[in-house]
Structure 1
């Protein structure tokens, strides 16, 4: 709908620019009739069955079929042209039936007065219909009863819909509408590109944050590994120093006899010390506890 309105404005602007006033007036008059309704099937059906027929706008109803004949069919296309003529005939009969159902016999008389020659020109099967305004109950007449049924009117609307859908789907899009369509497409593409750029900026910022967090995690991991390594070296060095001190103290204490300790007690201590030294499972805590006991004993 927006594309059609934009194209109409382009045509109106061009006609004004060139000074085609008569053409502009005719163009405005054509637009006011709403013929074609922008090739929208539902809107054309609404015009025919909800506006033109109920309001007895016969001239506009006939103009619809004249427009369809000129723009979408030709006598050379026998099948399509014949189908359109049959649809026109059925719609006009529906016009007559609707007027009779509404009690507007005078509208039926006006219809045949205005279109009688046109109907008789190529449609001999209209002859019986000229008498219908004067039949008391035409809905009970075997010749016309079918046209007063809901099934017939529903079938007519469906057939008209299918016909319009078929011819409009095969219609070539005018160049003016293509210009409007391409303009809207470019506008949509620019909007999409802008949204994608914004999304890309957000993702880049998020990536930078994640890289900083990853760098911090790596530094934290390296610090923990370094701390473990230093702790292991300190533990190993402490164990070596404690062993050497134990050995030196042991030798010093074993050669000292001025403490007044008897030989039996020293032998016991020496034996216990040797067992402790030979144990490879002695921990630093046990080693410290041993030396405390040793010092107390030596005192």
Structure 2
């Protein structure tokens, strides 16, 4: 709806700028009838069955069908054009029936006096309808009884709805309407770009903080690795010195052990010699005895 109003303002502005005052007046008059109702089916149905027919606005009722014929159908499209003509005939008959139900026979007479010649030229099956204003109880007449039933009127509204939905489905949007749509789209895109720029700034600031933290972590890791290497060197050097000292101690210990073994051997030999001497001395003593 906002797009439609914006487009209408653009048309008014252009007509005033070019000085098309007569066209502007005709344009304002057309807007007051609201033919088409922005291609909204429910609004068009409400316009026909709740405004034009109950208020006996026959000229506007005919104009809306003229609008549909010019904008959405052509005699070349026989199926669609024939369907619209039959729908128009049913709506006009509903107009007559509604006037009779309301006791407005003069509106029915006026209807045939205004468009009778046109109806006779286009539809021969209208001939019997010229007598309906003078029938006492047309709702009981076998020829017209069907048109006074609620089932027929409900079917007519449903058929009209389906027809409008069919012709409006996929209708190309006028270029003038796209101006407002594109304007709103550009506005939304600018807003999105602004939000994305703010988000980008926040992410860049966060990235800088993370880079600083990462740099500090790398420095700490480097310091720890250097400390480990120095400690390893010290440990290795200490192990070498300790090994040499242990080797010296081992050699000294080995020498001492050899010396001790030599002393023990001499002592043992001396002990043996003394024992042998005692044995010899004992033998000699026994022999003397």
Whether these two folds match at TM > 0.5 is: yes
CA distance in 2, matches of 1:284, 1:91: 173
Higher CA-based Rg = 2
Cα drift, residue 10 of structure 1: 1.9
Going from structure 1 to structure 2, the CA distance change for 1:251 and 1:12 (only over 3 Å counts) comes to same
Going from structure 1 to structure 2, the CA distance change for 1:113 and 1:195 (only over 3 Å counts) comes to same
CA distance in 2, matches of 1:278, 1:171: 150
Going from structure 1 to structure 2, the CA distance change for 1:251 and 1:15 (only over 3 Å counts) comes to same
Cα drift, residue 186 of structure 1: 3.4
Of residues 203-212 and 33-42 in structure 1, the stretch that sits farther from structure 2 once superposed is 203-212
Instruction: Give the root-mean-square deviation of aligned CA atoms.
Output: 12.8
Cα drift, residue 125 of structure 1: 1.3
Of residues 15-24 and 233-242 in structure 1, the stretch that sits farther from structure 2 once superposed is 233-242
Greater RCO between the two (CA within 8 Å, min separation 6)? Answer: 2
- State how many pairs are aligned: 286
CA distance in 1, matches of 2:224, 2:53: 90
Cα drift, residue 33 of structure 1: 1.0
Q: Deviations over 1:91-114 (max 9, x none)?
A: 112223333444544544443344
Q: Deviations over 1:43-64 (max 9, x none)?
A: 2222112222233322211111
Cα drift, residue 15 of structure 1: 1.6
Of residues 209-218 and 258-267 in structure 1, the stretch that sits farther from structure 2 once superposed is 258-267
CA distance in 2, matches of 1:246, 1:183: 93
Cα drift, residue 17 of structure 1: 1.6
| Structure 1, gaps ≥5 residues long | 286-298
- Compute the TM-score of the two structures, normalised by the length of structure 1: 0.69
Q: Deviations over 1:210-245 (max 9, x none)?
A: 323332333333333333334444444555666677
CA distance in 2, matches of 1:278, 1:134: 186
Of residues 180-189 and 58-67 in structure 1, the stretch that sits farther from structure 2 once superposed is 180-189
Of residues 122-131 and 8-17 in structure 1, the stretch that sits farther from structure 2 once superposed is 122-131
Cα drift, residue 26 of structure 1: 1.2
Q: Deviations over 1:27-74 (max 9, x none)?
A: 111111111222333322221122222333222111111222233334
Match of 2:44? 44
Cα drift, residue 88 of structure 1: 0.7
Q: Deviations over 1:70-91 (max 9, x none)?
A: 3333444433332221111111
Is the 8 Å Cα contact of residues 239 and 284 (structure 1) preserved in structure 2? Answer: no
CA distance in 2, matches of 1:81, 1:228: 94
CA distance in 2, matches of 1:120, 1:275: 178
Of residues 234-243 and 16-25 in structure 1, the stretch that sits farther from structure 2 once superposed is 234-243
CA distance in 1, matches of 2:277, 2:133: 137
CA distance in 2, matches of 1:214, 1:151: 80
Q: Deviations over 1:176-195 (max 9, x none)?
A: 33444443443343333333
Going from structure 1 to structure 2, the CA distance change for 1:271 and 1:78 (only over 3 Å counts) comes to farther
| Structure 2, gaps ≥5 residues long | none
Is the 8 Å Cα contact of residues 254 and 270 (structure 1) preserved in structure 2? Answer: no
CA distance in 1, matches of 2:37, 2:25: 19
Going from structure 1 to structure 2, the CA distance change for 1:252 and 1:2 (only over 3 Å counts) comes to same
Q: Is it true that 1:141 corresponds to 2:160 in the alignment?
A: no
Q: Deviations over 1:160-214 (max 9, x none)?
A: 2333334334655444334444434433433333333333333323332332333
Of residues 177-186 and 52-61 in structure 1, the stretch that sits farther from structure 2 once superposed is 177-186
Going from structure 1 to structure 2, the CA distance change for 1:169 and 1:272 (only over 3 Å counts) comes to farther
Of residues 203-212 and 238-247 in structure 1, the stretch that sits farther from structure 2 once superposed is 238-247
CA distance in 2, matches of 1:191, 1:72: 39
Going from structure 1 to structure 2, the CA distance change for 1:42 and 1:266 (only over 3 Å counts) comes to farther
